[in-house]
Amino acid sequence: MAKTIKISDELFDMLKFHSHVTKRSVPKQLEYWSEIGKIAEENPDLNFNFIKDVLLSKEELKAGLVSEYKFGV
């Protein structure tokens, strides 16, 4: 369900810029940053690139773009 929230003009401008660069909508960019921030707070020992790679891997799994790894082959 969509909700209306108030954010600063500065944050909106950053969201708009980054959403354009990453080809996301402004709300999707905010969701992306929020998800990364939540994961970072819950796992302070993880760096940004690791978090990003985990999110990418989850999407690859959902899209069926992975195959089973065979050990010792």
* CA–CA distance, 19 with 71 (Å, rounded to integer): 40
Residue 66 makes CB contacts below 8 A (sequence gap 6+) with 57, 60
Q: Does residue 8 register a pLDDT over 80?
A: yes
Residue whose entry in the numeric block shows the structure tokens 């819950």: 42
Residue whose entry in the numeric block shows the structure tokens 């985990």: 54
Q: Does residue 68 register a pLDDT over 90?
A: no
End-to-end, the C-alpha distance of the chain in Å comes to 47
Give the predicted TM-score (pTM) of the model. 0.78
Q: What is the pLDDT of residues 9-48, one digit of tens each?
A: 999 999 999 999 999 999 999 999 999 999 999 999 999 9
